[in-house]
């Protein structure tokens, strides 16, 4: 309630100051910290243009929940206000049925543009472009171009840093920067001053590749062509930035054995976190049993390596602890790096992580215990006490790993050290050793004392 | 030679076409693939403005080697051409002595600006700004501003998307976009149309934080203030982009237990790779011995856990393999994601990785063998045969891990799968199991057969 109070204050203030405004990025960020009902109330208090922008800048999961509290007409009004490449983002956050209904509520021309964008394959840059770029003919003079710019609708164009020179068949033949236009003589033509070798991509190019091309050359917008060389739109800087950040986050999370898209930490609930981690853990769990098989093979071979059955489960147990710890650290370090977690919110994070760890630990413990006592070749044919040990040891170690994995990066940041230093490899190694102590202490009580 | 031939061709072509040009980003990229002598020859063939840009866009290590083949006067000419925030980058690539000598060769005013930037603490945004931003007074009219823009030296300003409104004391009181200037009436003043609440950062802010602020709000440039609120410069989009990409790479590499800055893969030689990985490996090696200590403790305790001494070294051995594999995969996956490695260059990568693995394996094997036979409390007081086993097993496992870690991401990419899927956790787990086979097979031959 403190936060929503602040937001409403900010909005009132903005209204009274006239020119001043709350930035949509800050509003979008704040929306994930309030309930969907409160969020919808905030949006109603804003002018539609600002509400639409805030919605676009809020995390996917937050928007998904919020949209249930906003009537169709209002969402359609937002769609109509937004640049089409942003409007299309909202589709992911509602069912196809509602989306189709909304498209009938907005002007037919906009709906047609949205359908054109949606026809491009998922992940391709063709889906992310805006058709509203500033085009000029090769024979337009600088004077005429400046006059056109003065009359252009400011809401329509996301960027006017580069103007695109198109021939009669809509083929891109050059680019002129606004700077160049300002500095050239008023009677010079676009053809005379343009860069005749503009860098462009095909609309079938992947979004990430297009964004990397743009960042490589330091462009603010990148022209996108169809297969006939006709210019169909531009990828704008804000979208490219977002694609790159999401791609980075996805790669970082994959390194830490977490799958899923680049959603801000606080917008995900415990079920989301559980669902993004379990598939990897089960995969790694299966893989880790091969290490156990190798140990067992040499332990039972005639050379008499003398390995106690208790040892067969060591790779599984330390693997589960290490992998969970690395998932937690990676997730939290990334959220800290992107400033998704504010200083006062660490206790929320630790509580959430402990809850997720309990759920994961219980799941892994169950699977592990079943495996331990199941008959060969799927199980290890161990005694019941061994199954019991696994059923208790795995949750204990996973919760311990989550505690270490969530507290260390936060403590590092509080101490002014880059949390990335408390990185996954160190936490894995630390959890390996301490997890083994938990395992053997439980073993002493459950097995060796019998 | 094929590559340098291509570059020289490109340059000739560019010269003859007049307006067309080779992009400095592509040239900078190509420079890392040729010898420094050839690179210096390429730069000589270019116009000084383009040579200076290409130098800035080449990787640090490449530039360091190249600069030894370029005379002081030429480097000074480059420094003079470059925007100061780019020029200062060259300092890292030469000795302080040569740098000071160069500063005496360039105009005193530029040298003074460079010294001001250098006075800012390392890592702060104050070191990365350019002082050449476009400033206007609050009472300037749109007409006057456009006239000024027309006369401004294009090489001086990196960006003119935002114009900064400063009062008499150089305090930033507003920002006007060029778009706004174009669309406002010629007689309106800056004060009337400006955004009176511009977002800015202090020059002591870290570069990464400033870049994240910029990316959050989708700005093309970010004003930077001194402690008295006076505007001292702007952080430009290209620099922010570079800071973010380097920060991401650093975080990704830290997750894979590799330290060091974000240098492109091909610009690093085997010694660089060795130096970026060894410190982590030694740290993890020490940490991993704690796991061994735990195993030994329970193995020797009265409960009779029945652990063979051969088992004490299992965490160390599989840890070393897993960590090396994860380092290699992380490095190569990142290089593939950033397109630093071209399709024909995979054999170069694998050869380099095998060489580095041999060096790392030999080092770890030596340390491990010494530890195994050294007296307590520093060593494990094992027989010579155990030391021999460690000395052979570690290099074998590390080389095996490097083979798996470098081939899998490359194969994934060839198969059209995102290499990030072949990620460190899976490779670590795979190397764990297969590394153990190597260890036990060697153990059978060296210890158990005696």
Chain B, residues 199-228, CB within 8 A of chain A, namely 199, 212, 215-218, 220
Residue tagged 């193995």 (tokens): B299
Q: Does domain A256-448 have CATH number 1.10.357.20?
A: yes
Q: How many helices (H) and strands (E) does chain A have?
A: 20, 6
Task: Compute CA distances B25 → A144, A213, B13, whole Å.
Answer: 33, 10, 17
Q: For residue A185, is it left (φ>0), alpha (ψ between -120 and 50) or beta?
A: beta
Q: How confident is the model at residue B306 (pLDDT cuts 50, 70, 90)?
A: low
* Mean pLDDT of the region A130-156: 87
Q: Which residues of A touch B25 (CB under 8 A)?
A: 216-218
**Considering only residues 367 to 406 of chain A, which have any Cβ-Cβ distance to chain B shorter than 8 Å?**
none
Please give the Cα distance from A141 to A147 (Å, whole number): 10
Q: Which of B5 and B150 is assigned the larger pLDDT?
A: B150
CB contact under 8 A, B305 and A308: yes
Q: CB neighbours of A424 closer than 8 A, spacing ≥ 6?
A: A255, A256, A325, A326, A329, A330, B255
The CA-atom distances, in angstroms, between B308 and each of A421, B288, B296, B313, B450 are 35, 18, 9, 10, 16
CA B196/CA B173 separation, integer angstroms: 6
B241 close contact with A: CB closer than 8 A = yes
Domain segments of chain B as ranges: 2-119, 135-236, 256-448
CATH code for the domain defined by A2-119: 1.25.60.10
The reported pLDDT for the residue numbered A20 is 43
Q: Please give the helix or strand (H or E) that residue B38 lies within, else none.
A: helix B36-45
CA distance A69 to chain B (A): 27
What SS3 state is found at B23? coil
Confidence of residue A15 (pLDDT cuts 50, 70, 90): very low
pLDDT over threshold 70, residue B305 = no
Helix, strand, coil fractions of chain A, as percent rounded to 5: 65, 10, 25
Inform me whether the C-beta atom of residue B10 falls under 8 Å from chain A C-beta atoms: no
pLDDT at A450 over 60: no
pLDDT in tens, B237-276: 888 888 888 888 888 888 777 777 778 888 888 998 999 8
Q: In a mutagenesis test of the A interface, which of B53, B152, B183, B255 is the best target, namely the one with the most A β-carbons within 10 Å?
A: B255
Looking at residue B5, its pLDDT comes to 55
Q: Is any Cβ of chain A less than 8 angstroms from the Cβ of B147?
A: no
Answer yes or no: is pLDDT of A3 > 60: no
Domain with residues A135-237, CATH architecture: Roll (3.10)
- Cβ of A426 under 8 Å from any chain B Cβ? yes
What does the pLDDT look like over B153-172, one tens digit per residue? 766 777 788 899 999 999 99
Of B291, B311, B338, the CB nearest to A433: B291
Chain B: give the shortest CA distance to residue A243, in Å: 12
Record the pTM.
0.79
Residues of chain A with C-beta less than 8 angstroms from the C-beta of B290: 433
Q: What interface predicted TM-score (ipTM) does this complex get?
A: 0.76
What is the three-class DSSP state of A383? coil
Cα–Cα–Cα angle for B318, B324, B327, rounded to 5 degrees? 140
Q: What is the mean pLDDT of residues A82-107?
A: 87
Q: What tokens does A327 get?
A: 């998932």
The CATH code that applies to domain B135-236 is: 3.10.580.10
How would you class A260 by CB atoms within 10 Å of its CB: exposed for 0-12, middle for 13-18, buried for 19 or more?
A: middle
Chain B nearest-CA distance from A232, in A, is: 23
Two structure tokens written together for A198: 């503009």
Q: Establish if A338 touches chain B: CB-CB under 8 angstroms.
A: yes
DSSP annotation of A92 = G
C-alpha closest to that of A180 among A192, A191, A189, A193: A193
Strand pairing class (B201-202; B135-136):
unpaired
The Cβ-side half-sphere exposure at B290, using a 13 Å CA radius, reads 15
Q: How far is CA B303 from CA A164, A450, B300, in A?
A: 80, 11, 8
* H or E element in which residue B215 lies: helix B207-217
Tell me A69's DSSP state.
T
Which residues in B lie closer than 8 A to residue A330 (C-beta atoms)? 255
Q: Is A155 on the interface with B (CB under 8 A)?
A: no
Count of beta carbons in the 10 Å neighbourhood of residue B187: 10
């Amino acid at each position: 309630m403190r936060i929503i109070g602040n937001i409403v204050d900010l909005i009132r203030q903005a209204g009274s100051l006239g020119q001043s405004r709350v930035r949509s990025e800050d509003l979008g960020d704040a929306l994930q910290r309030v309930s969907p009902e409160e969020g919808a109330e905030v949006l109603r208090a804003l002018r539609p243009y600002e509400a639409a922008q805030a919605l676009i800048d809020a995390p996917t999961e937050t928007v998904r929940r919020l949209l249930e509290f906003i009537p169709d007409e209002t969402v359609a009004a937002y769609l109509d206000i937004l640049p089409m490449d942003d409007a299309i983002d909202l589709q992911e956050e509602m069912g196809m049925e509602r989306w189709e209904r909304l498209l009938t509520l907005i002007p037919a021309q906009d709906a047609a543009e949205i359908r054109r964008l949606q026809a491009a394959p998922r992940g391709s840059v063709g889906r992310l472009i805006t058709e509203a770029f500033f085009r000029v003919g090769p024979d337009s003079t600088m004077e005429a171009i400046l006059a056109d710019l003065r009359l252009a609708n400011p809401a329509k164009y996301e960027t006017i840093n580069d103007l695109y020179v198109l021939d009669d068949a809509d083929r891109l033949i050059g680019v002129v920067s606004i700077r160049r236009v300002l500095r050239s003589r008023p009677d010079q033509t676009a053809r005379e001053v343009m860069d005749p070798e503009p860098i462009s991509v095909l609309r079938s190019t992947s979004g990430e590749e297009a964004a990397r091309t743009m960042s490589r050359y330091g462009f603010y917008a990148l022209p996108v062509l169809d297969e006939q060389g006709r210019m169909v739109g531009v990828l704008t800087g804000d979208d490219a930035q977002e694609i790159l950040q999401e791609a980075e986050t996805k790669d970082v999370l994959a390194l830490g054995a977490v799958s899923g898209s680049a959603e801000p930490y606080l917008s995900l609930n415990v079920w989301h976190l559980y669902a993004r981690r379990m598939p990897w853990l089960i995969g790694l769990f299966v893989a880790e049993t091969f290490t156990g098989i190798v140990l067992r093979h040499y332990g039972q071979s005639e050379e008499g390596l003398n390995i106690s059955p208790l040892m067969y489960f060591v790779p599984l147990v330390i693997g589960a602890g290490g992998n969970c710890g690395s998932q937690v650290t990676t997730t939290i370090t990334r959220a800290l790096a992107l400033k998704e977690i504010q200083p006062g919110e660490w206790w929320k994070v630790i509580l959430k992580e402990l809850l997720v760890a309990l759920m994961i630990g219980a799941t892994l413990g169950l699977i592990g215990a079943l495996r331990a006592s199941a008959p060969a070749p799927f199980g290890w044919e161990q005694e019941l006490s061994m199954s019991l040990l696994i059923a208790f040891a795995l949750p204990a170690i996973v919760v311990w790993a989550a505690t270490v994995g969530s507290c260390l990066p936060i403590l590092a940041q509080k101490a002014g050290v880059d949390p990335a230093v408390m990185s996954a490899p160190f936490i894995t190694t630390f959890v390996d050793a301490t997890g083994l102590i938990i395992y053997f202490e439980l073993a002493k009580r459950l097995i060796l004392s019998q």
